[in-house]
Amino acid sequence: MSAHGRVEADPAALASAESFRAAMRSVAGGVTVITAGAGDDRSGLTATSVVSVCLEPPTVLVCVNRSSSTWPLIQRYRHFGVNVLASHHEHVANQFAGRDGIKGPDRYANADWLSLSTGALILADAIIGIDCEVDESIDRATHSIILGRVKAVHAPDGGDPLLYWRGDFGRLTR
Ligand SMILES: Cc1cc2nc3c(=O)[nH]c(=O)nc-3n(C[C@H](O)[C@H](O)[C@H](O)COP(=O)(O)O)c2cc1C
């Protein structure tokens, strides 16, 4: 090997949708629930695509599929909650992923919620709850990159995070 490492071309590695999906399944991450809407006009989704954008002004982004029930609610109400799930919230993650056909307000069952500034619902015992106003929405193919201006933060002592890796939920061990 040279001082700068060896570089080899691998023509077999050209990306297909399948190889890209498999690649992204290998990115371990925290799990969030995005809440949207109000009252009976409520839904939400489980999301791993949450990223901090900048501190000044405090801004986060999440990528939301435009065909999901949550996307139109975020566009209409102009606010959303980002809830970082704890390891005991696997049932909440499954509900908001729509497993077993759970839809709309029923996704909020078996958990306690509170409202901070915008009206978005925040999980009372989340690791962190972030209350956001929609700043901008950028459409890219099937998804929108939704930029949220942070209006309030709920920081209870939420315990260990729920993780997602290669199609399964897991817990942090260290
Ligand atoms: C671990 C995990 C992470 C997910 N991350 C995202 C995401 O970042 N963006 C997204 O649009 N959907 C994501 N999904 C899928 C949505 O949770 C799911 O499609 C949605 O809840 C279905 O909503 P609907 O029945 O309201 O259409 C994820 C699902 C799981 C299980």
CA angle, residues 147, 152, 157, in degrees to nearest 5:
115
Q: Which amino acid residue places its CA nearest to atom 13 of ligand 1?
A: 47
Q: Return the percentage of the chain with pLDDT > 70, whole number.
A: 99
Look at the pTM and tell me if it is higher than 0.75: yes
Q: What is the mean pLDDT of the chain?
A: 95
- CA-to-CA distance for 35 and 27, rounded, in angstroms? 23
Instruction: Kindly list the domain boundaries of the chain, sorted by start residue.
Output: 30-165
Q: What is the pLDDT of residues 26-66, one digit of tens each?
A: 999 999 999 999 999 999 999 999 999 999 999 999 999 99
Residue 1 has what pLDDT?
A: 59
77-88: pLDDT as tens digits? 999 999 999 999
Among 65, 71, 106, name the best residue to mutate to test ligand 1's pocket (greatest count of ligand atoms within 8 A of Cβ): 65
Superfamily per CATH, domain 30-165: Electron Transport, Fmn-binding Protein; Chain A (2.30.110.10)
- Which pLDDT band holds residue 158 (cuts at 50, 70, 90)? confident
- Residue 93 CA to ligand 1 center (angstroms) comes to 9
Q: Is 83 in the pocket of ligand 1 (CB under 6 A)?
A: no
Return the closest-CA partner of residue 107 out of 119, 94, 120, 118.
94
Q: What is the mean pLDDT of residues 100-108?
A: 97
Ligand 1: centre distance to CA 68 (Å): 8
Check pLDDT > 90 for residue 3.
Answer: no
Q: What is the mean pLDDT of residues 130-155?
A: 98
Q: Is 137 in the pocket of ligand 1 (CB under 6 A)?
A: no
Mean pLDDT of 120-147: 98
Which atom of ligand 1 has the smallest separation from the CA of 94? 31
Mean pLDDT of 80-102: 98
